[in-house]
Amino acid sequence: MPYIGRFAPSPTGPLHAGSLVAALASWLDARAHGGRWLVRIEDVDGPRSIAGADTLILAQLAACGLLPDEPPVWQSTRGPLYEAALQRLLAAGWAYPCACTRRDLAAALALRGARRSRHGELVYPGTCRRGLRGRPARAARVLTTPAPDRFDATLAIDWTDRRLGAQSQDLSRDVGDFVLRRADGFWAYQLAVVVDDADQGITDVVRGADLLDSTPRQILLQRLLGLPQPAYAHLPLAVGADGRKLSKHEAALPVDACDPLTSLRAALRFLGQPEPDCSNVRMLLSAAARSFDPGGIPRTAAAPGAFAAARNATP
């Protein structure tokens, strides 16, 4: 199939250095494969979205020469697609309504002596799998079992990451039945991204390693919905000098749209790519695409201070 990649930022703030690394890597990978590159604004989480951030992000991308091959799409306009997918899962017995609150989950897990997972998530104990017992539904969840009637069996998802190699996760043990539609009515990221990737024909997903744990959940939904599975490649995280991931919530410096060459050169260094001696964005990107070598990208999931060092390096 022809290569179709994408960059899917959340409009929770301006594009920062770590986001630019992901955007540039996905763009380079698409161009190196002679493919198309799309942009999707993942504003499905309404409470976290900031008004105007989507426009700013698109402007920053444009200043860096990263223009999508099709008009961007917004998840907030695609609710009917997510609803149709949820109804298919419910009808097939792979999804069910859930009445649990966070307090309910914490109490149920405390009775079992269970602890949070390594990422601080509460592993759902399956309270509502057999029915709501007269309580009103709040959310919808997907079963993480080999079959809708096998509540005593676990489900492991195995896949191969293009950069990190063989991966495996036991969804039943490490995640539990995860949410598809939230109690506040908003669609969960996992369902939305799977539906969108399939609808847009995405063949390859290049993104940060912070989303590595989301991949088995998305693969499960792809299998249950009969959707194609893209190839995944997870990048090392861009972190600050203190070793923490650069994120909008940690006040990471936004990409300077007035000086895109500096930002792009720093991102190329972080990705272990040659830095073309070019005086404008168009020429730099063209040369970078021709010389792009995925094997040069560091394999470590995080490289403390690496981006800061690259950003401050002398050209």
**Above 80 in pLDDT, residue 116?**
no
The answer to whether the 4-77+236-312 and 79-181 domains have the same CATH topology is no
Task: Specify the pLDDT at position 224.
Answer: 97
Task: Specify the pLDDT at position 24.
Answer: 97
Give the start-to-end residue ranges of the domains of the chain: 4-77+236-312, 79-181
Higher pLDDT, 258 or 239: 258
Tell me which CATH homologous superfamily contains domain 79-181: Glutamyl-tRNA Synthetase; Domain 3 (3.90.800.10)
Considering the chain, what percentage of its residues have pLDDT values greater than 70?
87
Instruction: State the Cα–Cα distance between residues 156 and 168, nearest whole angstrom.
Output: 7
Q: Place 46 in a pLDDT band, splitting at 50, 70 and 90.
A: confident
Task: Specify the pLDDT at position 115.
Answer: 58
Task: Specify the pLDDT at position 101.
Answer: 87
**φ and ψ at 234, to 5 degrees?**
-105, 130
Q: Quick: pLDDT tens for 174-201.
A: 999 999 999 999 999 999 999 999 999 9
How many other C-beta atoms are found inside a 10 Å radius of the C-beta of residue 181?
22
Q: Quick: pLDDT tens for 138-179.
A: 999 999 998 888 877 889 999 999 999 999 999 998 999 999
Task: Specify the pLDDT at position 242.
Answer: 60
In this structure, the strands spanning 156-161 and 165-170 are antiparallel
Q: Place 309 in a pLDDT band, splitting at 50, 70 and 90.
A: very low
In this structure, the strands spanning 204-208 and 231-235 are parallel
Judge contact between 252 and 259, C-beta under 8 A. Answer: no
The CATH topology of domain 4-77+236-312 is Rossmann fold (3.40.50)
Tell me the C-alpha to C-alpha distance, in Å, between residue 96 and each of 137, 140, 173, 202, 287.
9, 6, 19, 28, 51
Task: Specify the pLDDT at position 313.
Answer: 46
Task: Specify the pLDDT at position 211.
Answer: 94
> How many residues can be counted in the chain?
315
Task: Specify the pLDDT at position 182.
Answer: 95
Say what the alpha-carbon torsion angle 189, 193, 196, 202 is, to the nearest 10 degrees.
170
Tell me the C-alpha to C-alpha distance, in Å, between residue 77 and each of 9, 42, 183, 195, 223.
16, 10, 19, 13, 25
**How many DSSP H helices and E strands does the chain contain?**
10, 10
Instruction: State the Cα–Cα distance between residues 53 and 142, nearest whole angstrom.
Output: 31
Average pLDDT, integer, range 192-211:
97
Instruction: State the Cα–Cα distance between residues 258 and 273, nearest whole angstrom.
Output: 23
**Above 90 in pLDDT, residue 117?**
no
Higher pLDDT, 237 or 53: 53
**φ and ψ at 132, to 5 degrees?**
-90, -10
Task: Specify the pLDDT at position 195.
Answer: 98
Q: Place 249 in a pLDDT band, splitting at 50, 70 and 90.
A: very low
Tell me the pLDDT of the chain averaged across its residues.
88
Query: Would residue 34 be called left, alpha or beta, if left means φ above 0 and alpha means ψ between -120 and 50 degrees?
Result: left
Burial class (CB within 10 angstroms; exposed 0-12, middle 13-18, buried 19+) of 150: exposed
Tell me the C-alpha to C-alpha distance, in Å, between residue 133 and each of 9, 125, 259, 279.
39, 16, 59, 67
Instruction: State the Cα–Cα distance between residues 280 and 259, nearest whole angstrom.
Output: 10
> Among 53-67, 75-89, 231-245, 274-288, which stretch is predicted with the lowest mean pLDDT?
231-245
Task: Specify the pLDDT at position 246.
Answer: 59
Tokens 């698109």 label which residue?
58
Task: Specify the pLDDT at position 247.
Answer: 57
